[in-house]
Structures are given as structure tokens and as C-alpha cells.
Structure 1
Amino acid sequence: MPNLAQTVVVDDATASTLTAPRSDIVTERPWTAADDAAWRERHPDDDPATEGWTSFAVERGPMLAYRRDVRSTPAGDGTVRVEERTRYQLALGVWSGAVVWPTNRALRRTVSRQTTYAPVWAPPDGLDARSGRVLGLLLTLALVAGYMGTVLTQTITFAADEFGRDTTAQGNVLAAVRVGVLGSLAIVALADRKGRRRLLLWSVALAIAATVAGAFAPSMEVLGVSQTLARGFQTAVTLLLAVVAAEEMPKGARAYAISVMTMTGALGAGMAVWALPLADVGERGWRIIYLVPVLGLPVLRRVGRTLPESQRFVRPHRQATVMRGHARRFWAIGAALFCASAFGAPSSQLLNDFLKDERGFSAARIALFTLVTSTPAGLALVAGGRLADTRGRRVVVAVGVAGGAVVAAWGFTTHGWPLWAANLVATMLGALAVPAMGAYGPELFPTAARAKANGILQVMSVAGSAIGLVVAGHVTDRTGELADAMLLLLPLALIVAVLALTVFPETARRQLEEINPEDDLTRPGEGEVIAADPATADLWPPDGPR
């Protein structure tokens, strides 16, 4: 548990803010006798002096434990000596260590503490202990899913070499794997009736099994079948992670949560890239990369013991359908996802083949290129999530998608350092739009149809990526350059910007019940009121202990 102590000499105005409840990274309240009893029970060896000290507990913040003691003493020369001690335990689980240093800096602030704004790296609306704990668990699952979602993309060109197949075959396999999204649709639709948690955890387990099966594929076709199954389960995981995040996070932190989950998923994808040099050990070296997800099984077991069912699923809500009252927003989002994926899928998934065949990169150099040009996108993801929550979704989507596509298309025509620079800028611009687009799907539909609607939207997105991959593969094989295909597909990305600015609704900082009145049972409405049974929805594994 971090234990922060500081003594500062400040003016009277600053001293008054330091000795009052803070409201920035955490919201405090005065310490009570009940807090004192609970603290002494959990920390029997901690018995700070109380005479002359004022103590505060956390009212809202991602903390499992928190106490701040402060004492001020006039120095006699117009200044005040302030002593402060803060102890806390973050609720983010294994991810707490990643934010301890910036949290310590924020909690030590003195003069700037008058602000009521959270630090730039934190969500605009503060998390509480439950949402912090849930977010930490979702990040862990996103890491595992991110690796599995990238394995085929990173290894397809090496598998094609072993099996003696060309670029068209690669594009066809990558397109055919998208059929797995139909299976994910069935899974997420079931989640609207059986609960998010159970379906999420089973999907992760089955995705791991199907991914590992790819290591033993005897042909390109068998590899495609195994990874079609893996992609279906992995897609269901990604969709349900976004749904649970939307249903658990505060209204001003939904896009932020999507951004950090995407960044964690990108970290998982990066692990697949780190493993890519294994493909250089021999013609069959790429198969080793498919065995790594086995390490996710004990992690999954641990997450399953603590992840709760979504509170909005358990809460009573009205029965609803995808299209009733939501058709316009559904088709707008669906068309945007189709167009964005038609450009984005070949831009990212044929990149390795482009670098290897058209620019002569080795596997190790491809890995270096990907890490150098993609890693900074993590900062853009966080910035995009914060901008989407504070400034609104629509402009962020328009600028990110259109700007990133234009730069990416130009990058495929370049060589040398402009190629590296173009991919870096395009990746960062595209990353800005990811949290806003990711938040739209779960936000725009009621609880009883939220997962199913996102499953259908994912089908439309995958249809766009499949068409884009097939078109790009054929054009590249005919002309010999992927740049020709990307310039042909570029107008589709520009359509997304037009839809975002003219048709998309603005959902930033609005409660889900405000966006979807069906879920607000205080308002008159039609439809049967339903509720999940948390006693059965939370079992993992089924009929097993928690």
C-alpha cells in the first residue's frame, strides 16, 4: 500500500484547500468513527496520532482503501506549515502498478489542488471501487483477446510460404475467417438473455482452445477453419467487453474505458508481434506463436472468480428489439463500420505482406516497424477517449477516420523514412477515433438488445473488412502494388466522416437511460419488464463455486 507523506509551507489560501476535502482524482468526505473501526480492523498495526489532525475517507474513487490525514500549523510569518499523509490501495488489480506513479503525483499536488478536474491521464468522470475493479478485470481479458485477434494477421504470410500459397489465397483466408463473426452473433444475442459474464468467460476459454488448434494445421484450409472458430469467439469477447464497460462505467468515462481496453488489447497484439521473430527460426516456426494463449487459462480462472455480472443487466429493464425506435442510428453506425473496415482491414492486415514482398523487410524488421509505428498509438487512444468523453464523439470520429485513411493511403506509395512516418501518423489518427466508435455501439441500444445489436453491427463491419480484403488482394495481384488498392478504397473512409458529422447522435456524458428511454423504468413505456437472476448469472464455471 503506497504511503505518501509530505510537509509544505504555503500561504493561507492554499493551506485551506489542503485541509479541506479534495475533489479531483478522488472525492473525499470527512472521516467517521465507522471508518476508523474498519481501518483499524484491516490495518491493526497502523495507529496514527489523531490530535490536531483532520482525516478524510474516499467518497468516490477507484480505491479499495484510502485515508488522508492532514494538519496545519501557522508559521507566524503569514505562511502555514501543512503536514499530510495519504495511504491508499487502488482497485485496478494487477493493473494498479501501471498507474501508481501518476497517482502518487496527483495525490501529492499542493497549489494546483484547487482544481476539481481529474488529471489528464485519468477518466473525466471518476471511477468508484466497483467500476475500478471491473475495469481492471476487463483489461486483463482484453490483453488475452488482443493477442488471439492478431496471431493470424501476423503469421499468415509465413503460413502461406510453408503451404505455397499466394497473396490472393491470403486475402481469401483472411476474408473467410470473418465468417466466424456469425458465431459471435449467436453468442452475444444469448448474452442479452443469460447474462454478460458467463458468455464472456466461456468465449475467452473457447477462443484460446481454437487458437491453439492453429498450431497443428496441416494446410491453409484447416488453418482457416480453426481460426474462423477462434475469431468468432474472440469477436464475442471483444463485443461483450465493450458492453460490460458501457454498463459499468460512469457516463463520462465510457469512451475512456474503451480507450484503455483497446490499448491493452493492442498490448496483447504487440505480444504477438514480439513473438513474430520466432517465424524466422524455420519454415514451421510460425506455429509456435499459436501456442502462447495456453498461458491465458490460469488468468481466466482467476478473473472468473471475481468478475461480477453487469449491474445494468441484473437491474430490471424493459424488453426491447434492435430496430424499434433505433433504426436510423443503427443503419448510420452500421454503414460507418462497414466503410471504415473496408479500408482499415487491408490497410493493417496486408501490411506485413506489403513490407515483406514490396519493400523487402525481414520478419525481424517487420516486427521493429510495427512496434515503432504502432506503440505511440497508445497515447492517441487515451487522448481520443478523453476527447470523446469531454468534447463529444462526432468530431473525433470524423477527424480520426478520414485523416488516418488519407495519410495511410499515401504511406503505401512511399519508401524509406516517409513510409515509417506515414504509418506512425496514420496509426495515431486512426487511434483517436477508436474509443468514440467503440462506445457508440453499446450506448445506442437498450439493455435487452444491446449485445445483439452490437453483434449485428459487427457482422456489418466484418462484411466490410472481407470485401476490402478481397478487393485489395485482387488489385494487388493484378497491379503488383497494394497502394493501388488502398487509393481505390479511400473514398469509403471519407464517407465515415460525412456520416459522423451529419447523422451520428451525440452521446457524450449522457446516462444510458437517457439515450435509451426504454431502460428508464420511471418513465411510462411499453414492454415487459425483465430482470436477470444474479444468483445464476454469476456462476463460473456453471454449478461451480465462486
Structure 2
Amino acid sequence: MDRNDRRILTLIIIAGLSQSFAGSLLVVTLPFWRVAFGLTPEEASGALALVRIGVLIAILFGIVGDRFGRRAPLLTSLGLLLIANLGTAFAEDVTMFLILQAVARGASTAVAGLGVIYLTEELHHGRRGVGLGVLGLATSVAGGLAYLLAPMFDLGTQYQWLFALSALGLLTLPALFKFLHESRAFDINADRFNFAVLVRFRSRLLPLAVAGFLGGAFTALTTSFVNDFLINTRRWGSLRAGLV
């Protein structure tokens, strides 16, 4: 990779680390907030479904990204995610908790999507696969770190400080705004999205949409509640459950 590729990859990884850590906390802390708010597993499952409605926010950020550039919505959604998590740390009732996490969910999805688009557009075509692989590795490590830090917040409502900790990512925003420039591939005069595009490319988009839907439908519940089952039903320590 040349100097420009390394600079771009480093900046997107910094954003990705904050996004992955902050975005994973709803599921990581599920065993704690479910009990703290007095929810049954069934009620918590419904709560998680409602939170996912927040993904619609990502569509709005995507539209803005197509019309006005990738940089601004990418960094704005990252800031929104971290601020929503900071607010979650002080949420006193389940309604406010879920509203803030719905916002965080949508913003996190926007950061992830726009980050991949930006990286794909900016890296040399012969190095995009490596760059995306490195980004994926870094964000996976950040998500795993959240599980390893969870034991520090086992008691009562102390889990909320994990959300506050994620807000430290706000400290990276000034540097990201300064050094992350607009994607050179973005063309403000290019054709914009319309539903005719979906019709024209339906043979390619439909299989991807179906695969994504089925993958999410049959894995989201399991991955969300396995930690809760191990900690609250099997009485495992959160460190042991997190390592699993």
C-alpha cells in the first residue's frame, strides 16, 4: 500500500473501531439491562425487534451520502452513535433506553455501510480486498473487546458505564474531520438513486436481499440471547461467557 492508502485505511479503522465497540454494546449488556429493567426474555426479544427499526436511519444517511458526499454523513452518523450511547448510560427507564439504542443502531449501520463504500472508492483497486479484510479484523477485535470488558460492570446498573466508555470515541472526531477528506470517486453530478435502478438490477439485488434477510432472521435471535442464557440461566461469569 502507498502512503495515501495507509492514511485512508488508518482513518477508517479508527472510525470502525469506535463503531464496532459502541454498536455491540446492546447485545453485550443484554443480560444486565434485561434484569435491571425487569424484562422477561420474551419482552427483551420484542424490545430488540423495536430497536432494529432504527436501521431506517441508515437509509437516510445513505441517501445523503449519495447526494452530497460520503464524508459528512459518515462522520455525523459516527458522532450520533456515540452521543446516543452516552445518553444510554444515563437512561433511567426502558423506553428512553430503547429509543436511544434505536438511534444508535441506525447510526452504527450507517457508519459501517458508508465506511465500506468510502474505503472501496478510495483504495487502489488492487488493494481493496486487503484493506477491507484489515478493516473487518479490526472491527471484530473491537466488538470482542466489549465482551471482555463486560465483567467490570457485572453489578446492578454498572453495565451502563460500558456505554459511557464507548463515548470516548468522540475524542477521535476532531482528527477524523481534519484528515478524512471527501471521497475522490464521489461525483455530485452523477445520476441519483431511483426505483428504476432496483428494477434494472433486480436479478443481482434480490438474491443478496434474500440471503441477508434469511441470515439475519435465523441468527440474530441466537447470537443476541446466547450471552443472556449463559449468564442468567447457566450462571456463568460474564468473562467466561464473553470468551465463548
Report if aligned partners of 1:278, 1:288 keep a CA contact under 8 Å in 2: no
Q: Does 1:138 align with 2:12?
A: yes
Aligned residue pairs: how many? Answer: 242
Partner of 1:307: 180
SS for the counterpart of 1:348 is helix
For residues 347 and 260 of structure 1, do their structure 2 counterparts lie closer, same or farther at Cα, with a shift above 3 Å needed? farther
Q: What is the aligned counterpart of 1:349 among 224, 233, 236?
A: 224
- 2:206 maps to 331
Is the CA contact (8 Å cut-off) linking 1:158 and 1:286 kept in structure 2?
A: yes
- In the alignment, does 2:236 pair up with 1:361? yes
What is the SS of the residue equivalent to 1:313? coil
**Distance apart, 1:267 and its partner CA:** 2.0
TM-aligned CA distance change 1:209 to 1:320, over 3 Å: closer
| Deviation sequence 1:367-408 (CA, Å, 0-9, x none) | 233xxxxxxxxxxxxxxxxxxxxxxxxxxxxxxxxxxxxxxx
Letter in 1 for 2:229: F
Once the two structures are superposed, the pairs formed by residues 169-188 of structure 1 within 5 Å of their partners are: 169-188=43-62
> Quick check: 2:31–2:232 contact (8 Å CA) kept in 1?
no
* CA positional deviation for 1:326: 1.2
1:255 is the counterpart of 2:129: yes
Q: Is the 8 A contact 1:135 1:245 kept in 2?
A: yes
Task: Give the residue type in structure 2 aligned to 1:128.
Answer: D
Letter in 1 for 2:178: R
Unaligned 5+ segments in structure 2 are none
The amino acid across from 1:236 in the alignment is: A
Higher RCO (Cα < 8 Å, 6 or more apart):
2
Q: Distance in 2 between matches of 1:176 and 1:136?
A: 34
Residue aligned with 2:28, SS = helix
Task: Give the Cα separation in 2 of the matches to 1:319 and 1:346.
Answer: 36
Change beyond 3 A, Cα 1:319–1:167: closer
What amino acid is aligned across from residue 205 of structure 2 in structure 1?
F
Instruction: Give the conservation status (yes or no) of the 8 Å contact 1:200–1:240.
Output: yes
1:325–1:131 CA distance, 2 compared to 1 (3 A): farther
Q: CA deviation at 1:237?
A: 0.5
Q: State the AA in 1 paired with 2:207.
A: A
TM-score by length of 2: 0.92
In the other structure, the counterpart of 1:278 is 152
Identity %: 29
Give structure 1 stretches of 5+ with no counterpart.
1-126, 370-546
Question: In the alignment, which residue of structure 1 is the partner of 2:26?
Answer: 152
Matches of 2:230 and 2:40 in 1, distance apart? Answer: 15
- Match of residue 227, structure 1, among 87, 101, 106: 101
> In structure 2, what is the Cα distance between the partners aligned to 1:130 and 1:169?
49
Separation of aligned partners in 1, 2:6 and 2:239: 38
Q: Aligned runs of 1:459-470 on 2, under 5 Å?
A: none
Distance in 1 between the 2:132 and 2:41 partners? Answer: 33
Which residue identity lines up with residue 243 of structure 2 in the other structure? Answer: L
1:129 paired with 2:36, answer no
- Quick check: which has more Rg, 1 or 2? 1
Amino acid at match of 1:291: A
Q: Which amino acid aligns with 2:214?
A: C
Query: How far apart are residue 225 of structure 1 and its match?
Result: 0.8
Q: Deviations over 1:306-364 (max 9, x none)?
A: 11211110486444543253121111111111011112212321110121244331223
Partners of 2:188 and 2:33 in 1: CA distance: 48
Measured after TM superposition, the shift of residue 261 of structure 1 is 1.4
Find the counterpart in structure 2 of residue 195 from structure 1.
69
User: Which of the two has greater helix per residue?
Assistant: 2
**How far apart in 2 are the matches of 1:316 and 1:366?**
51
How far, CA to CA, are the matches of 2:68 and 2:79 in structure 1? 17
1:177-215 Cα distance to aligned partner (Å, 9 max, x none): 111111111111111011000111111111111011111
Q: Which amino acid aligns with 1:349?
A: S
- Which of 81, 89, 93 aligns to 1:207? It is 81
SS in 2 for 1:323: helix
Matches of 2:104 and 2:43 in 1, distance apart? Answer: 19
Task: Work out the CA distance in 2 between the residues paired with 1:278 and 1:170.
Answer: 23
Describe the SS at the equivalent of 2:27.
helix
Alignment-mate amino acid for residue 131 of structure 2 = A
Q: From the superposition, tell whether residues 315 and 252 of structure 1 become closer, same or farther in structure 2 (CA, over 3 Å).
A: farther
More strand by share: 1
**What secondary structure does 2:236 align onto?**
coil
SS at match of 1:275: helix
The change in CA–CA distance for 1:362 and 1:199 in structure 2 (over 3 A counts) is same
What is the alpha-carbon root mean square deviation over aligned residues? 1.8
TM-superposed CA distance for 1:277, in Å, is 0.8
